[in-house]
Amino acid sequence: MKFHVLTLFPEIPRAFFESSIMAKAVQKGIIAYDLVNIRDFALDKHKTCDDSPYGGGAGMVMMTTPLASALNSVKPKRKRVIYVTPSGKKFTQNMAYELSRESDLVLICGRYEGIDQRIIDSYVDDEISIGDYVLSSGEVAATVIIDAVYRLIDGVIASESLEEESFSDGLLEYPQYTRPEEFLEQKVPDILLSGHHKNIRAWRLKQRLAKTLRMRPDLIAKARDNGKLTKEAEKMIEEITRIGEH
């Protein structure tokens, strides 16, 4: 998979691509990236990339020609073009899975008050928001999307880790403990020291359900609608809510 990031500030995504697991995945050739500086396609000597909006209003809009030229410079024919914007569809783990199957992802990082609608209509496949808040930088939002996507690509992370993590089946994660057995006057739950795998699995499921009920009851309803709650899970939910465990 290759990420093509169209940006006025390539140093922001570059720092990310050059660090930790991401850099390793690049080194191994599992992923590749291309940082396209939109400013390189500006037409005047000042490298102007913004202009005032037709109809008036606050702020500036990204100029059409430099952005269109930057998009045209991305050569692969089969590519998915994403405009990262607070006005887009909300990003989810399912979207991350779907995007991880593409061969070339193009991300347009918005700045100013946004980009010209005609660019969206002509080039963009998806408008994606990372949440209901406004960041000053589309680069940070694009980096969030890239992070969620690249780690799902085969070979980046062990598949068992992906299977157990939050959202993979619609529930939040169970609590984790490591050494020492007692820390800050709190003991690791006995069951985790018992070596009894069946009981540990059931305990973890119950912990996940209790945490999801407490933090994100909407996810319980969604998991139920998607048929992801087993009879065992439903029974546990009943117990948790009956004794107010969550």
Stretch that binds ligand ADE, among 10-18, 72-80, 113-121, 123-131 (CB under 6 A): 123-131
Nearest-approach distance from CB 148 to ligand ADE, in angstroms: 13
Q: Compute the C-alpha angle 125/130/134, nearest 5°.
A: 110
Residue 110 is a binding residue for ligand ADE (CB under 6 A): yes
Q: How many residues bind ligand ADE (CB under 6 A)?
A: 12
Nearer to ligand ADE, 129 or 207 (CB): 129
Token couple for 206: 């119950």
Token couple for 127: 């408008």
Site string for ligand ADE, 124-163 (x = CB under 6 A): -----xxx-xxx--x--x----------------------
Nearest-approach distance from CB 59 to ligand ADE, in angstroms: 13
Phi, psi for residue 74 in degrees, rounded to 5:
-85, 110
> Within positions 63 to 92, which residues make up the interface with ligand ADE, using CB under 6 A?
84-86
Give the ranges where 100-196 is alpha helix by DSSP (H): 117-123, 138-150, 159-164, 190-193
CB half-sphere exposure, 104, CA atoms < 13 A: 11
Phi, psi for residue 141 in degrees, rounded to 5:
-65, -40
Sites of contact with ligand ADE (CB under 6 A): 84-86, 110, 129-131, 133-135, 138, 141
